[in-house]
């Protein structure tokens, strides 16, 4: 019994509790409830007509989310060189998304993803390398795609509120948050590129030097682990052929592009919507802004940003827009966020029991939930 108890205490996932699912739900519902209280118009929902096309586009929205997860699963199999089957890949991705959903956006599930991969049969070094390369590919998608799309969509249109009405007001705060988020991603990609492909030990030395600063000192152990992971990743992936990287980035492109098509499909379920490219690009900007969100999974802030940044694309009377856009923001989160809380809450306790605990007493079992 004492040995089992020790195994749980040593488990680095012990701080992830299923009961923490309630926190992002409460935050999200609180924000939606407050916005409804401020802007609710009982006549607003008279303009929403549920038709067969609504069902069609809602199914398409769910399909985009499924394609997103399938792309992640394919990428995981590519990076592990098929060491994980589809069932294992599905569990890892769901657990990863679950962790992201209950942890602040700035941390997400990456901090524990190495454990998920390792416990499915991949050695620690390769697991660290896979997670590090995954982070690199995700950020590379933003770094490459965002400026390319800005050639099509001007910064004025991207950061201007009211562009659909012809009276655009440049949103300086959204612009600043987006620039900060993009620069963080850009610096991270440059550092990873240098460390993974040029001088991994030099990058670890630089990280340790930076994290000796007084304001950053408390994170020096995490920086040391990150540096070690970068060195291991470099050993694992430096000599991979071009075809390997093409498949890895291709699956990354499928995943993230599918994710950002969800809102387009959701709006088409109820409205005649134009400006699809602009809606898509604004979702990229929203994700960059959410990088600095302190709440679990960006809960609350995501709903608020949606209402402020995408509401203008809904073609209804301004007097009714507030209520409708809040409802659409909530529906968007119901499709793209809350399912991971539910699936993770089911899988996580069983996975912990399977991977860390063989025989569990009722008292110890309660610690997992």
- Output the average pLDDT for the chain: 78
Mean per-residue pLDDT, 214-222? 69
Query: What's the token pair of residue 296?
Result: 């679990």
Task: Convert the pLDDT of each residue in 243-285 to its tens digit.
Answer: 999 999 999 999 999 999 999 999 998 888 888 888 898 888 8
pTM of the model: 0.80
5 pLDDT exceeds 50?
Answer: no
Share of the chain above pLDDT 70, in %: 74
Q: Binning pLDDT at 50, 70 and 90, where does residue 86 land?
A: very high
Task: Convert the pLDDT of each residue in 308-360 to its tens digit.
Answer: 777 778 877 777 777 788 888 888 888 888 888 888 888 888 888 887 765 44
How confident is the model at residue 19, as a pLDDT? 64
17 φ/ψ sector (left φ>0, alpha ψ -120 to 50, else beta): beta
Give pairs for 161-168: CB < 8 Å, separation 24+: 161/308, 161/309, 161/312, 162/312, 163/275, 163/278, 163/312, 164/275, 164/312, 164/313, 164/315, 165/312
At residue 203's C-alpha, the angle toward residues 201 and 204, to 5°, is 65
How confident is the model at residue 331, as a pLDDT? 85
**117 vs 360: CA distance, rounded Å:** 23
């Amino acid at each position: 019994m004492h040995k089992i108890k020790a195994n749980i205490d040593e488990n680095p996932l012990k701080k992830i509790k299923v009961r923490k699912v309630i926190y992002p739900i409460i935050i999200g519902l609180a924000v939606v409830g407050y916005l409804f209280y401020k802007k609710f118009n009982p006549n607003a929902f008279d303009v929403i007509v549920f038709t067969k096309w609504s069902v069609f586009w809602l199914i398409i929205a769910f399909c985009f989310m499924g394609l997103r997860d399938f792309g992640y699963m394919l990428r995981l199999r590519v990076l592990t060189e098929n060491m994980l089957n589809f069932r294992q890949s599905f569990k890892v991705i769901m657990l990863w998304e679950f962790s992201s959903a209950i942890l602040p956006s700035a941390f997400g599930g990456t901090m524990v993803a190495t454990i998920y991969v390792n416990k499915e049969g991949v050695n620690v070094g390769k697991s660290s390398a896979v997670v590090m390369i995954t982070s690199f590919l995700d950020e590379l998608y933003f770094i490459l795609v965002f400026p390319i799309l800005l050639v099509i969509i001007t910064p004025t249109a991207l950061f201007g509120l009211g562009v659909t009405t012809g009276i655009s007001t440049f949103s300086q705060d959204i612009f600043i948050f987006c620039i900060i988020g993009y620069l963080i991603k850009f610096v991270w990609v440059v550092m990873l590129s240098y460390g993974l492909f040029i001088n991994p030990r030099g990058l670890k030395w630089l990280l340790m030097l930076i994290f000796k600063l007084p304001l950053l000192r408390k994170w020096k152990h995490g920086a040391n682990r990150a540096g070690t992971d970068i060195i291991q990743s470099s050993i694992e992936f430096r000599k991979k052929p071009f075809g390997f990287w093409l498949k890895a980035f291709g699956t990354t492109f499928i995943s993230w592009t599918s994710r950002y098509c969800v809102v387009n499909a959701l709006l088409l379920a109820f409205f005649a919507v134009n400006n699809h490219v602009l809606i898509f690009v604004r979702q990229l900007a929203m994700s960059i802004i959410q990088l600095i969100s302190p709440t679990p999974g960006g809960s609350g802030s995501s709903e608020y940003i949606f209402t402020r940044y995408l509401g203008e694309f809904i073609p209804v009377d301004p007097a009714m827009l507030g209520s409708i856009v809040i409802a659409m923001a909530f529906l968007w989160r119901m499709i793209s966020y809350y399912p991971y809380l539910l699936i993770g809450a089911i899988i996580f306790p069983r996975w912990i029991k399977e991977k860390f605990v063989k025989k569990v007493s009722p008292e110890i079992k309660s610690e997992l939930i």
